[in-house]
Structure 1
Amino acid sequence: MSDILNPSEGPRPAPLPQRRDDDRPRVLKEVRKHRRFASLRAIGALVLREMQTSHGRSSGGYFWAIAEPVGGITLLTLIFSMGFRAPPVGTSFAMFYATGVVPFMAYLDMSGKVAGSINYSKSLLSYPAVTFMDALLARIAFNTVTQIMVATLIFVGISSFMETRTDPQFDLIAIGFAMVVVIASAIGTMNCFMFAAFSWWQPMWSILMRPIFLVSCIFFIFDDIPQPYQDWLWWNPLVHVVGQMRRAFYPSYAGDYVSYLYVFGLGLGLIALGLTLLIRYHRDLQNS
């Protein structure tokens, strides 16, 4: 009737359908699902970028990301094997040294790569689809797989060409690598904030890490250290990581000092603290 009385106004548009309260949980679920898959796609893209840029200018590309640490650790193992004939545990110094240096080098490489996540991906973090968390997770995932491949090649190579008289327990080896990943991710996450926030911390950290190779029980076992130095070294989480790896290969080695609670508790605590600082200040760090 109103259209007939006021023909100049024309027909009124149909009213918009009102969203019911029952639709809200479904909409929120779809938004979360979209964000989750977007994050996975971003992490996958960052991992592929990492593979392409790792020794990307060299012939062989990603192959050298595995061959370089394998070659370096193998060379060091052979050199020290010539000077040390009788290891503290087992009969092969090469295997004894490898059970210490492999997790140690994995920690050094992974913690350093994770610490540089924001600077490495700073140009991509300006896009809304890429977050600093994606950059951290991509580097952790990429370097975890790389270090597992490096360790596998080294341990299998030594076992194939030398008489080691070891009995690897794969469940204990998996726990050892989990300890490496957690503590390396924790130190890397904290340093990711510290390196970007304080310019003096990176050279200071480099100085502090110089003697860590000598106090991580790579050339000796924790049980042979006299007091009070033994109590001091216990607080070094890498001592626990190396001890876990050695008792995984040598069933006769008890390694009672190894504490899962300390390593995983310290690692998860530092990760939580590092992420809290990055969430609070990551925009300022990106723009600095």
Structure 2
Amino acid sequence: MFRHKSAARSWFSLAFETLELIYHVAVRNLRKSHNNAVLGLVMSIVQSLIMLLVMFFMMQLFGMRRIAVRGDFMLYVMSGVFMFMTHIKAIGAVSGADGPTSSMMMHAPMNPIISIMGAALGSLYQQTLSASVILFVYHAAWTPITIDEPVGMLGMFLLSWFTGIGIGMVFLSAKPWQPELIGILVMLYQRANVIASGKMVLANNLAPKRRDLFDWNPLFHTIDQARGFIFLNYTPRYTSYEYAIKYALVCILIGLMAEFFTRQHASASWNKRR
């Protein structure tokens, strides 16, 4: 008799409320890295720029320029670095999202899926801004760049982010069981991708035995496919974006099932003994 009954709401109203909540979670994740939002975005751009310059001089030092695609060498380096940064940042953001034992989950509209989507979108916003600013400055200040198929390149950029979400969800679902170990595994996976992503090489130029070392990695496929869309003189023959899509979907499915199982058993008291 005295129980409060919420008024019936339309699907549109619920969808709008969910999107608004995802937006606020994304903003909160962006603000966590730095108190000043603008300075935080600048630091993200600087981080991508440093990674880009390190890879450029490393490839110059080891004489890897001769195995690059015929065209703008800096654009070749950017294609690998931007996909790599988007992928690992998505893994870090999603694996570090609020889990079932987080205090944020005590608020009624909040749930782990919204937390994951907010973290993933915040990561995508940062990396898209970084890549756009660096490409614009390079195009305007140094030399004009030409991208053969920009829509395809953008698709591979988003696919690199999407595969990062899938892998990050697997790590996130296991995190409440052993946070320290999962944190170490996430860091190792991100560091290993500096080499395992194959961003410094072309799949077409690799011997079959060498190519098998990278073939398991969806990021290797998205980077190679992106170069096929960027450069007119390169056609990927040994990679497939379909593999990356299937890999991401399988990881998301495993992550959702594991997250549901973890949510049924997780307890805030787990962390008290650590």
TM-score over 0.5 for the pair? yes
CA deviation vs aligned residue, 1:172-196 (integer Å, no higher than 9, x gap): 1121122112101101111111222
Q: Cα offset for 1:102?
A: 1.1
Q: Cα offset for 1:110?
A: 1.2
Structure 2 CA distance for aligned equivalents of residues 178 and 59 of structure 1: 24
Unaligned runs of 5+ in 2: 1-6
SS of 1:152's equivalent? Answer: helix
Q: 1:262 to 1:187 in 2, by over 3 A?
A: same
Q: Is structure 2 residue 47 aligned with structure 1 residue 66?
A: no
CA deviation vs aligned residue, 1:139-174 (integer Å, no higher than 9, x gap): 111111221111122233333344476434211112
CA deviation vs aligned residue, 1:186-240 (integer Å, no higher than 9, x gap): 0111111122223423323433543321132222111222122223422211111
Q: Cα offset for 1:106?
A: 1.1
Percent of paired sites with the same residue: 17
Q: Is structure 2 residue 202 aligned with structure 1 residue 224?
A: no
Equivalences for residues 1-288 of structure 1 within 5 A: 30=9, 32-56=11-35, 58=36, 60-80=38-58, 82-83=60-61, 84=63, 85-118=65-98, 122-163=102-143, 166-199=146-179, 200-282=181-263, 284-285=265-266, 287=268, 288=270
Structure 2 CA distance for aligned equivalents of residues 32 and 60 of structure 1: 35
Letter in 2 for 1:52: R
Letter in 2 for 1:202: G
Q: Which stretch of the first structure deviates more once superposed, 252-261 or 33-42? A: 33-42
Structure 2 CA distance for aligned equivalents of residues 34 and 259 of structure 1: 40
Structure 2 CA distance for aligned equivalents of residues 120 and 46 of structure 1: 15
Letter in 2 for 1:197: W
CA deviation vs aligned residue, 1:99-137 (integer Å, no higher than 9, x gap): 111101111111111101025992211111111111011
Q: Cα offset for 1:274?
A: 0.6
Unaligned runs of 5+ in 1: 1-26
Aligned CA RMSD, in angstroms, stands at 2.7
Q: How many residues align?
A: 260
Letter in 1 for 2:42: W
Q: Could you tell me whether the CA contact under 8 Å between 2:169 and 2:256 is conserved in 1?
A: yes
SS of 1:125's equivalent? Answer: helix
Q: 1:162 to 1:256 in 2, by over 3 A?
A: farther
Structure 1 CA distance for aligned equivalents of residues 95 and 37 of structure 2: 27
TM-score (norm 2): 0.83
Letter in 1 for 2:41: F
Q: Could you tell me whether the CA contact under 8 Å between 2:96 and 2:172 is conserved in 1?
A: yes
SS of 1:62's equivalent? Answer: helix
TM-score (norm 1): 0.79
Q: Could you tell me whether the CA contact under 8 Å between 1:173 and 1:248 is conserved in 2?
A: yes
Who wins on radius of gyration, i.e. which is larger?
A: 1
SS of 2:266's equivalent? Answer: helix
CA deviation vs aligned residue, 1:8-63 (integer Å, no higher than 9, x gap): xxxxxxxxxxxxxxxxxxx87x365554333223212212222333311x584433
What is the match of residue 3 of structure 2? Answer: none
Q: 1:250 to 1:104 in 2, by over 3 A?
A: same
Structure 2 CA distance for aligned equivalents of residues 152 and 117 of structure 1: 25
